[in-house]
Amino acid sequence: MTTDKDLSMDGQSAMAMFAAKGIDVTPNKDQGVVKVVKRQGVDGERPMMGDRVTVHYTGKLLNGKKFDSSLDRKEPFSFNLGKGQVIKAWDISVLSMQKGEVCTLLCKPEYAYGSAGNPGKIPPNSSLLFEMELLSFEGEVLTDDGGIIRRIKVKGDGYTNPNDGATVDVHLEGSCGGRLFDSRDVRFTVGEAEDKGVPLGVDRAMEKMQKGECCILHLKPKYGFGREGKPEYKVGPNKDLVYEVTLKDFQRAKESWEMDLNEKLELASGVKHKGNQYFKAGRFHQAIIQYQRIVSWLEMECGVGMEQQKRIQDFLLISQLNLALCFLRLKEFSHVVENCNKVIELDGKNEKALYRRGEARLLRNEFSLAMADFQQVLQVNSSNRAARAQISICQRKIREHHEQDKKIYANMFQKFAEYDAKVCRVFGHPTARGCSVNRTAHQLQCTM
């Protein structure tokens, strides 16, 4: 990054420099943001819309007065491109930069702070000078585990996105290790892309896309073809995938508030069946999507009359029990406990919920809590042999844990005793008390 001296020219000199060397980077070529490259960046790809970028910058008025600088704070600034988190000039100009590039920008008011200015710092209708260095950029992370990363090549239109149950028309190109294995137009229902050979990661990215958007998705195996791979595409197990996806059109599914209760109950039956199909096929992530749709529709409904209330409760119990079982298979034990707790709130003596919560707690090494759950199962059904077996396992685990603690403490005390004996030999104290005193004294001397 260059220094303040590089932005010390007056307004007239700045205009002359930008007129002679500047490049208009605005889409409309209206001279609203003009860039002069001061140091070329590293050859390669540039940031894309939605990327997380990190920059250093210094901003000045045309009279040379500095109003902000990340360098003065000694802390780079990060933001997501094209999300309206910064002034329009930055969203436009950073898209044109390469990693390591340093440039100077001349920004007209309509691309900066406009007629409002920034009280106390920037007067209304001010053109601004920025010097900026692009330090790094990376794609937008769409999942908590970093398994889906999106980079937007072409920004879409509008403000709506497909939702679960929406029908989407997309063009996709899938590649693995640089080899193109799939290129086609395809229509699928969001949440059911698996039925058309489209991986989970593409399905889950739909809810972030807009009509006309073209993006590149980097998928970890969990969101690709997993441990099985895809033999028909000659994709092996546990492979990272890259998909270029264009959302050509979509039709949103009705939201919960757009349906009456009877419509929700009618749809819930089909969605439950679809979830069960995915579960039996071992597609637990896809099954979770279906069961969660039912819960989102019905968890706030009360129903009219006993029969309708019972149907609602039955759907909720089944869906949340199945969610718990899916999460148990995926080893996401906190979600197992969460869904079992919801079932137990509705039915405090639900045998399956108590048992599955016990399983999750046992696998989280919460042996006492797990044993309490299995004991409650026996109170509900005294002939449940599996629960009795699990109680025995819990008791054994608790004993093993206690034995392990004893060994740890025994080893600790043994080491103290050996150290005391060693200090006694060094300092010649025959009593345990003398050894303890000198151990402390010796430790203090060593740390001085």
User: Can you tell me the distance from the alpha carbon of 222 to that of 331, in angstroms, rounded to the nearest whole number?
Assistant: 13
Q: Determine which one of 18, 51, 91, 113 is catalytic.
A: 113
What whole-number distance in Å separates Cα of residue 344 and Cα of residue 373?
A: 11
Dihedral sign from CA coordinates of 293, 297, 298, 304: negative
Which is catalytic among the residues 130, 250, 284, 374? 130
User: Half-sphere exposure of 142 toward its Cβ, with a 13 Å CA cutoff?
Assistant: 24
| 4, 6, 24, 68: the active-site residue | 68
Rounded to 5°, the CA angle 45-50-51 comes to 45
419 is catalytic: no
Q: Which residue has the tokens 């585990």?
A: 145
Q: What's the alpha-carbon Rg for the chain, to the nearest Å?
A: 32
According to the 3-state scheme, what is the secondary structure of 197-230? Answer: CCCHHHHHHHHHCCECCEEEEEECHHHCCCCCCE
Name the token pair of 64: 């040379």
Active-site residue, from 67, 77, 79, 181: 67
Instruction: Determine whether 367 is an active site residue.
Output: no
Only one residue has tokens 């329009």, namely 88
Q: Which two tokens stand for residue 53?
A: 């970028």
Instruction: Please compute, for residue 218, the number of CA atoms within 13 A of its CA located in the half-sphere on the CB side.
Output: 13
Size of the chain, expressed as the number of residues it contains: 448
Contact 438, 429 (CB under 8 A): yes
CA–CA separation, 214 vs 49, rounded Å? 11
Instruction: Specify the DSSP element, H or E, that contains 65.
Output: none
Task: Verify whether residue 57 is a known catalytic residue.
Answer: yes
Three-state helix/strand/coil letters over 266-295: HHHHHHHHHHHHHHHCCCHHHHHHHHHHHH
130 assigned to active site: yes
Residue 315 among the catalytic residues: no
Residue with tokens 């002679």: 20
Instruction: Report which secondary-structure segment, H or E, holds 131.
Output: strand 128-138
233 part of the active site: no
Residues marked active site are found at 57, 67-68, 87, 113, 130
